[in-house]
C-alpha cells in the first residue's frame, strides 16, 4: 500500500504516521514499513509576523499481511465531505504527536 500525505499547520508540525510497523485496530491487519520518506520545509512566517506555517509531506510504502476486504479501509474524513466523525476508520494510534519530531 502506497500512502502519500501532505500537511500544513500553523504554529506546530502536522501529525504524520509513525515510522514503525503496526497492526491496525480497525482491520487487525499487520503493516510493515518498506519505505518512509519525509520532506519538511523550513517554517514560513505568517503575515501577522508572529505565527509560523509548518509544511511537511511524506511517502510511505507498506506491505500488508493480507489484502483488505471491502469497507475495511476508508480514508480519513475531511471537513467538507459530510461524513460523521464515527465513519472515519483512521487509527489514531498510528500517528505521532508533534513533540515526537526530531528537529
Residue at 77 is within a domain: no
Q: Please check the confidence at residue 92 and state whether its pLDDT lies above 90.
A: no
Residue-range definition of the domain harbouring residue 54: 1-68
Per the structure, how many domains does the chain have?
1
Residue at 59 is within a domain: yes
Residue at 100 is within a domain: no
Residue at 47 is within a domain: yes
Q: Which is more confidently placed, 50 or 85?
A: 50
For the chain, the farthest-separated pair of C-alpha atoms sits apart, in whole angstroms, at 49
What is residue 95's predicted lDDT score, i.e. its pLDDT?
57
Handedness of CA 43, 48, 49, 50 (dihedral sign): negative
Residue at 60 is within a domain: yes
Residue at 99 is within a domain: no
Q: What is the pLDDT of residues 14-72, one digit of tens each?
A: 888 888 898 887 788 899 999 999 999 999 999 999 999 999 999 999 999 988 877 66
- E-strand ranges in the chain read 2-10, 22-23, 30-40, 44-45, 52-64
Q: Please check the confidence at residue 102 and state whether its pLDDT lies above 60.
A: no
What is residue 65's predicted lDDT score, i.e. its pLDDT?
92
Residue at 21 is within a domain: yes
Q: How confident is the model at residue 103 (pLDDT cuts 50, 70, 90)?
A: very low
Amino acid at each position: 500500500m502506497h500512502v502519500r500525505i501532505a500537511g500544513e499547520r500553523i504554529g506546530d508540525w502536522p501529525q504524520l504516521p509513525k515510522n514503525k510497523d503496526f497492526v491496525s485496530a480497525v482491520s487487525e491487519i499487520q503493516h510493515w514499513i518498506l519505505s518512509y520518506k519525509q520532506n519538511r520545509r523550513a517554517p514560513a512566517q505568517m503575515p501577522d509576523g508572529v505565527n509560523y506555517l509548518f509544511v511537511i509531506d511524506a511517502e510511505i510504502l507498506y506491505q500488508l499481511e493480507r489484502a483488505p476486504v471491502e469497507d475495511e479501509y476508508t480514508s480519513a474524513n475531511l471537513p467538507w465531505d459530510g461524513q460523521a466523525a464515527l465513519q472515519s476508520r483512521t487509527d489514531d494510534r498510528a500517528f505521532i504527536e508533534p513533540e515526537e519530531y526530531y528537529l
